[in-house]
Amino acid sequence: MKRTVLLTGCSKGIGKAIAKKLVEQGEYTIYAITQNPQDVPPDLAGSLNLYSCDLTDIPRSIETILCVLLDSGGIDILINNAGIGKFALAESLELDHWNRVLTLNLTIPFLLTKYVLPHMKRKNFGRLIHITSDADHIGFAEGSLYCASKFGLRGFADSVRQELKGTPITVTTIGPGRVDTFFNGKKPGDRPISLYAEDVANQVIHVLTQSERCEIERIYLKSTFE
């Protein structure tokens, strides 16, 4: 029986690479939430159960998550990948910037975790994987908002892991350095010496192939060329 996966953000970048890797494995039924389902390549979209949602809209997000849970019968593996950044001096940030980034990068992971955990506990199996960043433990100028969201996500994941101690439900954060994607206004090819999205996706598969008694708490990766 295939495991059910919920993946957020799959139209490009790391999320798209993760979706491709999961499909290649052939072992999962994949439910994916994305703001732009029209951007998912047709050959990939045909292997996914796609849901369109702007995850910065909390009421709509809750509605979509509940719909996925109903359609899937419960999620075995959560891969929280969707995220955004806003980089500016702290005094230049607007409250709207703050709320939008924290909603997607921190509130949505909380809601996803809250709603998928009951099924995992009933089934006595679960994998919670959060794509963070090296910014989950390193602060930098003009990164106060992004770092706050990622530091918070790592702390949230670490605390939930303690709550699940003694169960076969694992919590992993994967924190890449710079990745050659569309993030922060870039496009693939702009960062040729950085990590590739596939490098991060490979780590997700690595986590999923561990035995039920093995929990990988945290992975950090960076390009050898930077």
pLDDT tens per residue, range 107-121: 999 999 999 999 999
Tell me the catalytic residues: 146
Which one-letter DSSP state was computed for residue 2?
P
DSSP, collapsed to helix, strand or coil, labels residue 142 as coil
What confidence tens digit (pLDDT) does each residue in 66-110 have? Answer: 999 999 999 999 999 999 999 999 999 999 999 999 999 999 999
Nearest to 21 by CA among 42, 39, 48: 48
State residue 144's pLDDT score. 98
Given this model, what pLDDT does residue 135 score?
A: 97
Q: What is the pLDDT of residue 212?
A: 87
Distance between CA atoms of residues 178 and 222, nearest Å: 7
Domain boundaries, the chain: 3-221
Q: According to the model, what pLDDT value does residue 208 have?
A: 98
What does the pLDDT read at residue 65? 98
Distance (Å, rounded) from C-alpha 204 to C-alpha 25? 12
State the pLDDT at residue 9: 96
106-139 burial code (b ≥16 CB/10 A, e <16): bbbbeebbebbbebbeeeebbbbbbbbbbbbeee
Helix segments in the chain, DSSP class H: 13-25, 42-45, 58-72, 95-102, 108-123, 144-163, 197-208
Nearby residues of 212 by Cβ (< 8 Å), 6 or more positions away: 125, 168
pLDDT at 164: 98
Q: Tell me if residue 62 falls in helix, strand or coil.
A: helix
pLDDT at residue 211, rounded to an integer: 93
Q: Determine the Cα–Cα distance for residues 87 and 92; give it in Å rounded to an integer.
A: 9
Please report which helix (H) or strand (E) contains residue 130, including its range. Answer: strand 126-131
Tell me what pLDDT residue 89 has: 98
Cα of 78 vs its chain's centroid, Å: 8
Q: What is the pLDDT of residue 1?
A: 82
Give domain 3-221's CATH architecture.
3-Layer(aba) Sandwich (3.40)
Q: What is the pLDDT of residue 184?
A: 81
Q: What are phi and psi of 8, to 5 degrees?
A: -105, 140
Low-confidence ranges of the chain (pLDDT < 50): none
